[in-house]
A and B are shown apart, each in its own frame.
Chain A
Amino acid sequence: MSAAESQRLPAPAGLLIDRSRRIGFSFEGRRYEGFAGDTIASALIANGHWLLARSFKYRRPRSVLTMAGQDGNTLVQIGAEPNALADRHPIAEGLAVHGQNYDGSLEHDRGAWIEMFGRFMPVGFYYKAFFKPKGSWKYWEKFIRARAGLGKVDLHAHHDYFDKEYLFADVVVIGGGPAGMAAAIEAAKAGGEVILIDENPRLGGSLLYARFDQEGARAAAVARELTAAVAAAKNIRVMTDTTCTGWFADNWLALIGGRRLYKVRAKSVIQAAGSIEQPAVFRNNDVPGVMLGSAAQRLIRLYGIRPGTRAMVMASNADGYAVALDLADAGVEVGGVVDINPQPPQSPLVEAVLRRGIPIMPGHAITEALHSLGKKHVIGAHVERVTGEGTTDGKAARYDCDLICMSVGYTPAAQTLYHAGAKFRYDHASNMYRLEALPAHAFAAGSANGAYDLDAVLAEGRHAGWAAAKDSGGKEGVEPPKPARDQGAKGQTHPWPVFPHPKGKDFVDFDEDLTSKDLKNGIADGYDNPELLKRYSTIGMGPSQGRHSAVANVRFIARETGRDLAAMSVTTQRPPYRPEKFGHMAGRIFDPARRTAMHHRHIEAGARMMVAGAWYRPAFYGTKDQRDQAIREEVLAVRNNVGMIDVSTLGGLDVRGPDAAEFLNRMYTFTYTKLEVGRSRYVLMTDQAGAVVDDGVACRFQDEHFYVTATTGGVDAVYRTMLFWNAQWRLNVDIANVTAAYAGVNIAGPRAREVLEKICQGTDLSPTAFPYLGVREAVVAGIPARLLRVGFVGELGYEIHVPASQGEALWDALVEAGRDAGIRPFGVEAQRCLRLEKGHIIVGQDTDGLTTPFEADMPWAVAKKKPFYVGGRSVAIQNARPMSRKLVGFEITDKSVPVPEECHLVVRGDQLTGRVTSAVMSPTVDKIIGLAYVAPDQSEPGQTFDIRIDGGRMIQGTVVRLPHYDPDGKRQEM
């Protein structure tokens, strides 16, 4: 017999393992062997190795508690992945697993000394101990951080491929146990699409590991019958190894399966995830070898492992007796069933236990688990007679054992129901929180709904399946018998399975090493509300998220304060139900990127690209270290020769219809009704508060057709705003956002006409035939084009807008036509400099969310006699008030000072009077120029103001009249 088989039981035990496939893996550097289907924990226990982890605070040895991944006792490190659950993670050939949260080795943790000082670290000590005297936190922080956290994150871990997927269903059933399978089968009869999910590798739930009768045969028979029916239903999609981690509004479910996040939209959802067994509280209840009864049953039936040689079972329900029978069947000597209740339950299972000769000790409790050196494993139990709720006679009898099982009660696995908005209320009859109200299109069945008798569970499942299918719009079949409220829940859960020990270490929250004394002290400190106690003590904040401590939290408070549990609720249950990896969140992130038709031409020409909204634009052409020189040369090329810039990203809107001019009159500050066909005019848009939100030009190509440009980042909002207002005004106008449909090039500079004429023969480009601010429809390089004579950069220039798919051909044609003239592409940085020389603002850079046209010194753009435009009333009101700031042009002639940056402050004494919005070293006028907000009494040309730049240094700017360059505008009108 190999090591892997030393603790193994013969089939049929071991439902999940394939004994024909041996798998080697390592734990803490030592090689082990298990079977395919084993988890790390089951394979190690099969090899006789129990120690899996160290506890968070006291570094106490820990091992399997639930064998269902419900606790934090089995967290291990697998390569770069910290905090993997050893009782859920399958083994794989060569898998290298390590423990975590120790100094030295898992077996011999040098940090375990801290437990000796446990009494000096009561709950809340953290908040009290390290903050006084002032400044001491800095000293303590490094020690605390060194001990905080569990696994180790590898910041250089390789990227894995995670994905996301939408799923759709009429009915989703969460939980593939008896209730869930019965529900799915019934729901499927209505013909709709059903998704049945279960977080385990096989359907069956408790049918696979629990015992429902004396013989232990019924569960397997029911499981076979249900799984066959599920498989036969073509419209049930089974998703095993998949967990529902969140249930959001409108039945949006988050499912995690492998490396995929499924986003499910379901018409109806049935929660049938069962219940979570709860531990008892006694001294050393965390020592390896102390586990839930269901954990022992899982080890036996799912993994074929004998969990011990001699066991004691602490019970308060019939399931404890079932555990004793299962242990006995597995060859474990059962030293006794220690029943907290004065009388054993009325159950055939009790009779069966007696027939096996297993001692039953009613009215007794295990008060302490005895352990081997180093607390590595349980070696015995102290049993005392119960004298009252949580009290015993103090006369301990020792029972040697290497396994203690706890079967003292349950709580509904209702986390996702809480997410959905279900209401629960404590039920004194069953000593559990029970479902009181469900939101629309939500259903529950099985022990999640308080049913424990198997027949009742199946009946609930069938009815919930029928009801959910009907709710989802499926064809209505015959209604299954409506189940009565199951009385089987009574007696399942003990109201106070807590036996505090004078020496402590009676853990209520295993994740956070919180004992009964910790909770009492916290409540005594005044934190007598479950939410407050949670935050003060950290109960329920560990990896198991209160699955075993949330109800205990409420019970302790009720007991200490005398409040009624029925009037109290557990702490808020928030998604995710189980941890979700960052990979699940990050997998398949969409990051749209817009590229112009000429994008690759820019790359080929050596452009450094920059992001503008979703667009990529060329910042300048050259390497990073050539930046300043490249920008300077690009600016001078435009001023002295000819340059071309890709302006495809600028917004373009076709506004057409008999009311087009009236529409623009209402949308913008200027007037457009009298604008001639073939002409353009500046547009300035304000919002209803009168703030500047966008600008551009309106080009009248037909009496009823305006082509309106907008800023790159603003066009989508402008389009939405136009649609919104047109829906109100119902003018006879149509608006189309054609931004993506047009590529654009601005060719600018004194030789622009000369270049364009080479490829635009059909249109008279002379200044008289096509003057400044004129617009024409033309053909350029054989491509139909819209030509705009605009002057953003202040030189003779033409914007050429062509169908996007022909943009690259236009670019190529301009490069070729301009070759002799030495045409040069220029980027956004040069354009910003050129426009600043002309004193043109950039909305969003030189304006903010409050800037009015008057503050921006643009009264010329506001029509005074129009009856209405959006924001006009607000602009008028603001203009009637004293202005608090004004945008001015400034210059700095001292070349030794650095160029101010955007948002450097304008200060006067101890007052902030404004800020710089734009500034550059102008190659054209050979000085620093810029725009800045200043106080109105600082805004006259010739006045100076102070700018605080980086490092607190003050430099002086002088207000100048705009523009800095070509004040008469002769160059753009050539």
Chain B
Amino acid sequence: MASATASLAPANQRRRSFIYRVLDGIGAEWGEVGGVAVPLGYGRGIETETADARRMGLVELTPLPRTGFKGAGTVDWLKGQGLTIGEPANIAYPQAGGELALKLAMTEIFLIDSLAATGAMIERLNSAWQWAGAAPRPAMGYPVPRRDSHAWFTVTGARAPGMFAKICGVDLRPHKFENRRIAQTSAAKMGAVIVRDDMGGVPAYHVLADMASSEYLWGCLLDAMAEFDGAPVGLAALRRLAGKG
């Protein structure tokens, strides 16, 4: 995979990962996905990185689209927009395009895009939500800037639960923490939303946490992964793992 062209370099784009310098330092190969620079790989080749992801990989997905809505009327409004959202909270509800609607509370949804990262549904929802001209305004929740409030890392691999056991007090082992379950908890001493989203039969967990702590959390995860030979893995390998690339 070729290195990113100058125009693809994150420093030349408006939207930048908080850790692009760190990723540059470990050989990130940037590719354009949905108009932003995303680390597609780290120079080890997709086969190797996919194998790494099966064992233990850490993927930077922060540049990918996501959004959120919260407040009274949120879920009904989103259902009206065609989303499929069940009753229980702390469950990730898959959408037709592969997006996940994370139900964090009865009136709060955090939407993350599919690995294809077209952003289509998320953009549609963001556009659809508008301040109504006249009161009383229908209850439709309020948008929350989740693409900027939260970093998005994905931890993959059979040994991922062992790594999480070093930074998080929630039992995330697959037989205790079902696929698509959500834990709103503390990881590495900071608030985090952890979502299990297996890919290709391999345990995978999205970690959504304070954007400003991106560099800190990335370092914590890599350090905790070291004993399992964990490694950063690009989006390309993650797509391959998920059978989408």
Where the two chains meet, the residues of A that have a C-beta atom closer than 8 Å to any C-beta of B are 163-168, 263, 265, 588, 590-597, 600, 614-615, 648, 654, 656-658, 702-705, 732, 734, 736, 738, 740-742, 781-783, 803-806, 808-809
* Cβ A594 vs Cβ B212 within 8 A: yes
What are the 5 tightest A-B residue pairs by CB atom distance, in nearest-first order?
Answer: A590-B189, A734-B71, A741-B149, A594-B212, A741-B145
Q: Which of B14, B135, B210 contacts A594 (CB 8 A)?
A: B210
Binary per-residue interface labels of chain B (133-144) against chain A in the complex, 1 for a CB within 8 Å, 0 otherwise: 001110001101
* Cβ B212 vs Cβ A615 within 8 A: yes
* Cβ B216 vs Cβ A809 within 8 A: no
* Cβ B167 vs Cβ A590 within 8 A: yes
Q: Which of B149, B168, B176, B227 contacts A738 (CB 8 A)?
A: B149
What CA separation (Å) do A263 and B21 show in the bound complex? 35
Known: A592-B188, A595-B215, A600-B21. A738 touches B144 (CB 8 A): yes
* Cβ A805 vs Cβ B148 within 8 A: yes
22 A-B interface contacts by CB (under 8 A)? A166-B168, A265-B169, A265-B171, A590-B190, A592-B188, A594-B210, A594-B213, A597-B16, A648-B212, A654-B142, A654-B144, A658-B135, A658-B137, A736-B144, A741-B145, A742-B148, A805-B17, A805-B63, A806-B16, A808-B11, A808-B16, A809-B15
What CA separation (Å) do A343 and B16 show in the bound complex? 87
| Residues of the A chain whose Cβ atoms lie less than 8 Å from the Cβ of B17 | 805
Known: A595-B18, A658-B135, A805-B16. A740 touches B188 (CB 8 A): no
Instruction: Give 13 A-B pairs besides A654-B144, A805-B15 with Cβ atoms closer than 8 angstroms.
Output: A163-B166, A163-B227, A166-B169, A588-B166, A592-B189, A597-B16, A648-B212, A734-B70, A736-B70, A741-B211, A742-B145, A805-B62, A805-B148
Residue B242, interface by CB 8 Å? no
Closest to A657 in B: B71
* Cβ A806 vs Cβ B190 within 8 A: no
Closest to A591 in B: B189
Q: Which of B14, B211, B224 contacts A783 (CB 8 A)?
A: B14
| Residues of the A chain whose Cβ atoms lie less than 8 Å from the Cβ of B176 | 168
How near does chain B come to A711, taking the closest CB pair, in angstroms?
Answer: 16
Residue B220, interface by CB 8 Å? yes
Binary per-residue interface labels of chain B (55-73) against chain A in the complex, 1 for a CB within 8 Å, 0 otherwise: 0000000110000001110
| Residues of the B chain whose Cβ atoms lie less than 8 Å from the Cβ of A648 | 212
* Cβ B16 vs Cβ A809 within 8 A: yes
Q: Which of B13, B136, B149 contacts A809 (CB 8 A)?
A: B13
| Residues of the B chain whose Cβ atoms lie less than 8 Å from the Cβ of A593 | 213, 215-216
* Cβ A740 vs Cβ B72 within 8 A: no
| Residues of the B chain whose Cβ atoms lie less than 8 Å from the Cβ of A740 | 148-150, 210-212
Known: A590-B189, A592-B213, A593-B216. A168 touches B145 (CB 8 A): no
What CA separation (Å) do A776 and B214 show in the bound complex? 30
Known: A595-B18, A734-B71. A166 touches B165 (CB 8 A): yes
Which label, helix, strand, loop or mixed, suits the secondary structure of the A interface? mixed
* Cβ A741 vs Cβ B148 within 8 A: yes
Q: Which of A167, A265, A597, A656 contacts B71 (CB 8 A)?
A: A656
Known: A163-B166, A734-B142. A805 touches B211 (CB 8 A): yes
| Residues of the A chain whose Cβ atoms lie less than 8 Å from the Cβ of B168 | 166
What CA separation (Å) do A621 and B88 show in the bound complex? 51
Chain B 158-197 interface residues, beta-carbon cutoff 8 Å to A: 165-169, 171, 173, 176, 188-190
Closest to A809 in B: B14
* Cβ A592 vs Cβ B16 within 8 A: no
How near does chain B come to A164, taking the closest CB pair, in angstroms?
Answer: 6
Known: A166-B168, A615-B212. A782 touches B189 (CB 8 A): no
Closest to A813 in B: B14
Closest to A737 in B: B149
Residue B240, interface by CB 8 Å? no
* Cβ A705 vs Cβ B131 within 8 A: yes
How near does chain A come to B16, taking the closest CB pair, in angstroms?
Answer: 5
What CA separation (Å) do A703 and B137 show in the bound complex? 11
What CA separation (Å) do A806 and B13 show in the bound complex? 8
What CA separation (Å) do A738 and B210 show in the bound complex? 10
What CA separation (Å) do A837 and B167 show in the bound complex? 46
What CA separation (Å) do A238 and B139 show in the bound complex? 55
Known: A593-B216, A594-B210, A809-B14. A804 touches B190 (CB 8 A): no
Residue B147, interface by CB 8 Å? yes
* Cβ A805 vs Cβ B18 within 8 A: yes
| Residues of the A chain whose Cβ atoms lie less than 8 Å from the Cβ of B135 | 658, 703-704
Q: Which of B13, B142, B210, B211 contacts A656 (CB 8 A)?
A: B142
What CA separation (Å) do A596 and B148 show in the bound complex? 12
Closest to B68 in A: A736
What CA separation (Å) do A592 and B189 show in the bound complex? 7
| Residues of the A chain whose Cβ atoms lie less than 8 Å from the Cβ of B166 | 163-166, 588
| Residues of the B chain whose Cβ atoms lie less than 8 Å from the Cβ of A588 | 166-167, 224
What CA separation (Å) do A599 and B166 show in the bound complex? 28
| Residues of the B chain whose Cβ atoms lie less than 8 Å from the Cβ of A614 | 213
* Cβ B188 vs Cβ A736 within 8 A: no
| Residues of the A chain whose Cβ atoms lie less than 8 Å from the Cβ of B16 | 597, 805-806, 808-809
* Cβ B149 vs Cβ A263 within 8 A: no
What CA separation (Å) do A117 and B167 show in the bound complex? 54
What CA separation (Å) do A811 and B117 show in the bound complex? 27
Known: A168-B176, A734-B70, A736-B70. A803 touches B145 (CB 8 A): yes
What CA separation (Å) do A656 and B144 show in the bound complex? 11
Chain B 197-245 interface residues, beta-carbon cutoff 8 Å to A: 210-216, 220, 224, 227
What CA separation (Å) do A811 and B90 show in the bound complex? 37
* Cβ B142 vs Cβ A803 within 8 A: no
Closest to B150 in A: A740
| Residues of the A chain whose Cβ atoms lie less than 8 Å from the Cβ of B147 | 803, 805
How near does chain B come to A599, taking the closest CB pair, in angstroms?
Answer: 8
What CA separation (Å) do A806 and B18 show in the bound complex? 10
How near does chain A come to B187, taking the closest CB pair, in angstroms?
Answer: 9
What CA separation (Å) do A590 and B176 show in the bound complex? 25
Closest to B223 in A: A588
* Cβ B165 vs Cβ A803 within 8 A: no
Q: Which of A168, A704, A803, A808 contacts B137 (CB 8 A)?
A: A704
What CA separation (Å) do A595 and B217 show in the bound complex? 11
Indicate the member of B150, B171, B176 with the most A CB atoms within 10 Å: B171
| Residues of the B chain whose Cβ atoms lie less than 8 Å from the Cβ of A615 | 212
Closest to B175 in A: A193
* Cβ A736 vs Cβ B148 within 8 A: no
| Residues of the A chain whose Cβ atoms lie less than 8 Å from the Cβ of B141 | 734
How near does chain A come to B223, taking the closest CB pair, in angstroms?
Answer: 8
| Residues of the B chain whose Cβ atoms lie less than 8 Å from the Cβ of A804 | 18, 148-149, 211-212
| Residues of the A chain whose Cβ atoms lie less than 8 Å from the Cβ of B71 | 656-657, 734
| Residues of the B chain whose Cβ atoms lie less than 8 Å from the Cβ of A164 | 166
| Residues of the B chain whose Cβ atoms lie less than 8 Å from the Cβ of A596 | 212
* Cβ A736 vs Cβ B18 within 8 A: no
What CA separation (Å) do A165 and B171 show in the bound complex? 11
How near does chain B come to A649, taking the closest CB pair, in angstroms?
Answer: 8
What CA separation (Å) do A656 and B147 show in the bound complex? 19
* Cβ B167 vs Cβ A806 within 8 A: no
| Residues of the A chain whose Cβ atoms lie less than 8 Å from the Cβ of B167 | 588, 590
What CA separation (Å) do A593 and B217 show in the bound complex? 9
What CA separation (Å) do A808 and B11 show in the bound complex? 8
Closest to B176 in A: A168
| Residues of the B chain whose Cβ atoms lie less than 8 Å from the Cβ of A736 | 70, 142, 144
* Cβ B169 vs Cβ A803 within 8 A: no
| Residues of the B chain whose Cβ atoms lie less than 8 Å from the Cβ of A656 | 71, 142
Q: Which of B136, B148, B216, B224 contacts A803 (CB 8 A)?
A: B148
| Residues of the A chain whose Cβ atoms lie less than 8 Å from the Cβ of B149 | 738, 740-741, 804
Binary per-residue interface labels of chain B (4-20) against chain A in the complex, 1 for a CB within 8 Å, 0 otherwise: 00000001011111100
| Residues of the A chain whose Cβ atoms lie less than 8 Å from the Cβ of B137 | 658, 704
Binary per-residue interface labels of chain B (105-139) against chain A in the complex, 1 for a CB within 8 Å, 0 otherwise: 00000000000000000000000000100011100
What CA separation (Å) do A88 and B69 show in the bound complex? 58
How near does chain B come to A575, taking the closest CB pair, in angstroms?
Answer: 19
Indicate the member of B14, B137, B144, B173 with the most A CB atoms within 10 Å: B14
* Cβ B212 vs Cβ A168 within 8 A: no
